Amino acid sequence: MRRLARVALLCLGCAVCSLLYGLSQLALSLEQEPGGGRERQAREPVTPGARRQAGSAGRGEAGTGRCKNLSVSFWNSYWMLPSDVCGMNCFWEAAFRYDYMKTHPSEKMHLAVVACGERLEETVTMLRSAIIFSIKPLHFHIFAEDQLHESFKDILEEFPYEGKVNYTLYPITFPSESAAEWKKLFKPCASQRLFLPLILKNVDSLLYVDTDILFLRPVDDIWSFLRKFNSTQIAAMAPEHEEPRIGWYNRFARHPYYGVTGINSGVMLMNMTRIRRKYFKNDMTPVRLQWGEILMPLLKKYKLNITWGDQDLLNIMFFHNPESLYVFPCQWNYRPDHCIYGSNCKAAEEEGIFILHGNRGVYHDDKQPTFRAVYEAIKNYSFGDDLVHSLLQPLERELQKTTHTYCGRVYKVFIKQLTKSIRDLYARRSKGR
């Protein structure tokens, strides 16, 4: 009889342990949606030296703070938590949070840009393009030289989208012990993007873009790639070239690079929680290094061999860690190289351009009038005006004047997705969304 009682007690103990383990795994999986960390927080704190100016107040999620900040998203098993992080009720805290998220599904998208020199107008035009079509709320993280901050504030305060757009202004900052090295890399501000996972510690996922980017469809759509990441992927970028015969990396690079033609970092979607946690394989030491540990050794080893600065360093990192990169198609980062030698982005030919990248200064000269026409159309569009009559139709007329160029011969790819985005926007408005 005693033996039977002991067996029954043992079975009961095993059942309880299994239940606790199952609940901890469930809590972890629920907290890591969509990209593996604490995306849904009330307004994130500003790092030291950052200047915050809210375009509109973001609503905090009242009732979700009963576990401290390092609770569920950093769990292994609940009994391994430090005593000051969370108590035995963490299971129920996680369940409460998930229930709150189900009834409050709005998800803030975080977009970062770095602006220096004469990039104010270009950056504002990019931000305007992000606002026009996007559905979920946006938070802009703007890293800019000090003399640009007041101009950004004055312009962004005039944006009419109350409740949809917040922003934070930050100074340009590098690690103090190596600031001079990083400032000399490629362009004065170019390498700032490498330090975003270390500066924006309370941001789970982030879309970084260059100032010369224009969104021709909702930011929501590229943000949704986060849900497509597998368990090893930490970032997403597009190839540098589609056609190896005109590729730069495969012909001229003096360092390792990702894939066949390398990757372009002008549009970079990041799960920053995973980036901060990952230990990276490298060719400098048999020991894997975290993000903050690997940057300076990489620069010291390759600074005499790299041409495109931080983009080259990213290529080297993902050459050694290819399983960590999600590659999206060329229409998500469409550049002059995709058409100046003849059209070579098949995805754009079929579906149109989703994100336009006017590198090489093509928005501001007459070398590629097709790119400049799109930039001028979005820059001159007034919020609230009819998008068909004030944006799409004038743009199409200007594009028809560019057919003497290679890019102009395929001008319809520049408006195919834009036309659909406008149609979808008006459809949402008619349904009251």
Average pLDDT over residues 3-28: 66
- What is the C-alpha separation between 50 and 175, in angstroms, rounded? 15
- What is the C-alpha separation between 370 and 14, in angstroms, rounded? 68
Under 8 Å CB-to-CB from 394, ≥6 apart: which residues?
377
Whether the pLDDT of residue 427 is over 80: the answer is yes
171 or 303: whose pLDDT is higher?
A: 171
Q: Residue ranges per domain, the chain?
A: 109-328, 359-430
Q: What pLDDT score does 17 carry?
A: 65
Average pLDDT over residues 157-164: 82
Whether the pLDDT of residue 62 is over 50: the answer is no
186 or 418: whose pLDDT is higher?
A: 418
Dump pLDDT digits (tens) for 113-139: 999 989 999 999 999 999 999 999 999
Whether the pLDDT of residue 26 is over 80: the answer is no
**Residue with token string 């820059």:** 379
CATH number of 109-328: 3.90.550.10
Dump pLDDT digits (tens) for 315-347: 999 999 999 999 999 999 999 999 998 899 999
Q: How confident is the model at residue 176 (pLDDT cuts 50, 70, 90)?
A: confident
